[in-house]
Amino acid sequence: MKTRKENENLERCKSFIRLLFIINILALLPVSIAASTQAGNHDRIQGSDSMVMLDSLVNINKISNNTQSILYAKRALAIAKNLKSDTTLGEAYKLMGIAYSYREKDSSYFYCSAALKLANALNLPKLKILAMYNIALLYSAAYNYKESIKLLDSTILLAQSLHDQASISRGYLALGNIDFLVHDYESAKKMYESALDVAQKHKLYEQMGVAMGNLAKFEFEKDIKKSISQQREAIGLLGKVKGTEEEMAYILINMGNRFPNPDSALFYYKSALKIAVNAHLPMIQFGAYNNMAYSYLDKKDIYLAEACLKDHAIPVALEEKDHDWLSSLYDTYADVAVVQNDYKKALVMQKNALRERITDHKEKASEQLRLLAALLDLKNKELIIQNEAQELLIQRNRLQRVELWLAIALILIIVSVFITVMMQQRNRVKFHKEQIGSARRIIEMEEAEKGRTARELHDLTGQLVMGISGTIEDIEFPDSEIKEQLKTRIRDLGASIRRISHRMNRAMIEHFTFSELIQGLCEDYTKLSGMSVKFDIRGDVPDLPNELVLQIYRITQELLTNAGKYAHESHVKVTIMSEVGKLSLFYHDDGPGFRTKETKKNSMGILNIFERAKLFSGLAQLTSEPGKGTSWEIVFPVDKNLVANKNVQT
């Protein structure tokens, strides 16, 4: 057995060994912590560098190779999750939204909203600007321009507070694009000019090029030389920035469209095509080949025109499954076949175009439904959260609110009379605005329906003419001259109906002058209905706003349509008189007439005339009695606030 002294010595040795062990651990601990911290910092630096690189790759490939762009965005999301950084996660959500925006807009909205939520929670204003901008573009794609404009305005204000000039200019460009889509060219021009002004002051070459290219469009610059000069300068600016191939190619196509000479137009189309092929931009390729085909037709080179479509554009469009462009390309191919006098091929191409157009409409409708469902779902979730938070707030402050209402009850009683008077006045103004707004919406719906009918009439006429011409071609006539006369008359009939469909379409109407529109309308009704229509214009008609021209055109169209129904054998006279401060439309026919009190309430055509006149503060007066014909006098006030600038009239 060990003695007590030996045991004590053994315990002392054990204690000494434990002390040495602890000292060694404490000595090594700072070194271990430093190494761990350095490794973590290294990982974060590498992750940050990777995110910057992936950001660039996502934006470069989002159109030319969307599948690859999505893969890069998913890689960024994986890196952000590994780093466990909310800031990096917000950037990754933004990249996912950008990558999906090209084809899956509902998924894009989900990630952009997640990025915006993180930006608000973490107070990241730069991320918030980009997220709001991308969501605004998605609302625009869903035709919800009101929400899109609100978000773009907020984006510009936040960017101004941060002196983010690129985002300010980009926001103005997006607002200009919305105004251009709704044909508000005056406002669109102001937005593009604002974007250009910001970009020029801060040498933002990409925004400068895009804004300058937009301002060179036909709607803003009628002088071809000035337009071409601006577009060349825009291309030079865009060439200084990587990833702007799509913008440069679009400008080159627009330049080609401005040249009536097919050789000059072909030069720019081929230049755009070269950029599109190198950058893998299929939609630019389709547009370039389509326009090249028509230019070759103008040169009577049918072989090259057909080759553009058959050998190049259509195979690529089939590979890309772009049904929208396929419908346009098949329609162009039908025109080439007509020039070749191959009506059977033309009919087949027209059928293909119609099939692809229907498929495209179905796909776009499905995409719109998915996007709208995503918007609505997220809105509902946000509303539920807001309602729950509001209920909690109400419960906590119920007593305070009761006391507050008791305190202000006396004030409410004192001012109640004043508020009542103010509300009544406001309701009267609101009711008047709603009346005008209701009339405008009805007319807009009618214009949209006429545009759809015009397109269907255009497509159907082409097929019928092709079919009938092909049938006649197969029939043997004893007299070949009769056969040619029949084919000529059928083509003339098709051309006449196409002209009518063009005049029904609002977009086509805006390309004619006021005098040409009314004169052409009267001539068309004379040819097709056999009525005697006389048109006279007195005085110098000033440049009028496009909307006012459209309403006068539709009113005249309604008057002539009614004449064709009820006064077919009568003589019709249409007179436009321009005087200082007003423009008058006079109509008279010596037809059977009618009782105005009985017909006014039941005739949609007559009601439309009165409503259209009201939209521009016009005054319409109808005079008619049985056996005494029908007369209209419609007067529109015209002052310097209504007269359109020549530079924006189309």
Q: Alpha-carbon distance 274 to 252, whole Å?
A: 11
Percent of the chain with pLDDT strictly greater than 70: 74
Q: Is 119 exposed, middle or buried (0-12, 13-18, 19+ CB in 10 A)?
A: buried
User: Given this model, what pLDDT does residue 73 score?
Assistant: 84
For residue 589, name the pLDDT band (cuts at 50, 70, 90). Answer: very high
The yes-or-no verdict on residue 151 having pLDDT over 60 is yes
Mean predicted confidence (pLDDT) in 556-571: 85
Residue 373 amino acid letter: A
For residue 83, name the pLDDT band (cuts at 50, 70, 90). Answer: confident
Percent of the chain with pLDDT strictly greater than 90: 9
User: Given this model, what pLDDT does residue 510 score?
Assistant: 65
The pTM (predicted TM-score) of the whole model is 0.50
Mean predicted confidence (pLDDT) in 375-383: 59
User: Given this model, what pLDDT does residue 584 score?
Assistant: 92
User: Given this model, what pLDDT does residue 14 score?
Assistant: 55
Between 162-166, 553-557, 613-617, 646-650, the lowest mean confidence (pLDDT) is in 646-650
Q: Alpha-carbon distance 531 to 568, whole Å?
A: 6
DSSP state of 153: H
Whether 237 contacts 205, CB under 8 Å: yes
The length of the chain is 650
Mean predicted confidence (pLDDT) in 454-460: 58
Residue 629's CB is within 10 A of a number of other CB atoms, namely 19
- C-alpha of 126 from chain center: 26
For residue 638, name the pLDDT band (cuts at 50, 70, 90). Answer: confident
Residue 98 tokens, joined: 């950008």
In angstroms, the Cα distances linking 64 to 111, 464, 596 are 21, 39, 63
Mean predicted confidence (pLDDT) in 3-19: 53
Q: Alpha-carbon distance 282 to 41, whole Å?
A: 43
Q: Alpha-carbon distance 494 to 486, whole Å?
A: 12
Between 454 and 579, the more confident residue is 579
User: Given this model, what pLDDT does residue 385 score?
Assistant: 46
Virtual torsion, Cα 257, 260, 264, 265, nearest 10 deg: 30
For residue 148, name the pLDDT band (cuts at 50, 70, 90). Answer: confident
Q: Alpha-carbon distance 182 to 186, whole Å?
A: 11
Residue 533: its H or E element = strand 532-538
Between 37-51, 95-109, 586-600, the lowest mean confidence (pLDDT) is in 37-51
461-514 tens-digit pLDDT? 656 666 676 677 667 777 667 767 777 777 767 666 666 665 555 655 666 788
Between 86-95, 169-178, 184-193, the lowest mean confidence (pLDDT) is in 86-95
Residue 595 amino acid letter: R
The yes-or-no verdict on residue 121 having pLDDT over 80 is yes
User: Given this model, what pLDDT does residue 635 score?
Assistant: 93
In angstroms, the Cα distances linking 345 to 280, 334, 352, 611 are 31, 7, 10, 47
Measured distance between the N- and C-terminal CA atoms of the chain, rounded to whole angstroms = 117
21-30 tens-digit pLDDT? 555 544 444 4
Between 38-47, 111-120, 332-341, 375-384, the lowest mean confidence (pLDDT) is in 38-47
The yes-or-no verdict on residue 444 having pLDDT over 70 is no
All structural domains of the chain: 44-277 (1.25.40.10), 397-492 (no CATH), 513-637 (3.30.565.10)
Whether 264 contacts 241, CB under 8 Å: no
Q: Choose among 551, 564, 559, 558: nearest CA to 514.
A: 551
Q: Choose among 375, 267, 353: nearest CA to 309.
A: 353
The yes-or-no verdict on residue 345 having pLDDT over 50 is yes
User: Given this model, what pLDDT does residue 373 score?
Assistant: 65
The yes-or-no verdict on residue 33 having pLDDT over 50 is no
196-223 tens-digit pLDDT? 999 899 999 988 989 988 998 888 888 8
Q: Choose among 119, 130, 44: nearest CA to 79.
A: 44
The 3-class SS string of 344-395 reads HHHHHHHHHHHHHHHHHHHHHHHHHHHHHHHHHHHHHHHHHHHHHHHHHHHH
Q: 619 phi and psi, to 5 degrees?
A: -125, 120
User: Given this model, what pLDDT does residue 41 score?
Assistant: 47
What does the mean pLDDT of the chain come to?
Answer: 78
Mean predicted confidence (pLDDT) in 309-330: 88
User: Given this model, what pLDDT does residue 644 score?
Assistant: 41
Mean predicted confidence (pLDDT) in 634-638: 90
Residue 191 tokens, joined: 């937005």
Mean predicted confidence (pLDDT) in 545-555: 84
Mean predicted confidence (pLDDT) in 352-364: 84
Q: Alpha-carbon distance 39 to 41, whole Å?
A: 5
Question: Reduced to 3 states, what is the DSSP secondary structure of residue 327?
Answer: helix
User: Given this model, what pLDDT does residue 395 score?
Assistant: 66
Whether 63 contacts 70, CB under 8 Å: no
For residue 194, name the pLDDT band (cuts at 50, 70, 90). Answer: very high
Q: Is 232 exposed, middle or buried (0-12, 13-18, 19+ CB in 10 A)?
A: middle
Per-residue b/e over 453-467, b at no fewer than 16 CB within 10 Å?
ebeebbbebbbbbbb
Q: Alpha-carbon distance 605 to 493, whole Å?
A: 27
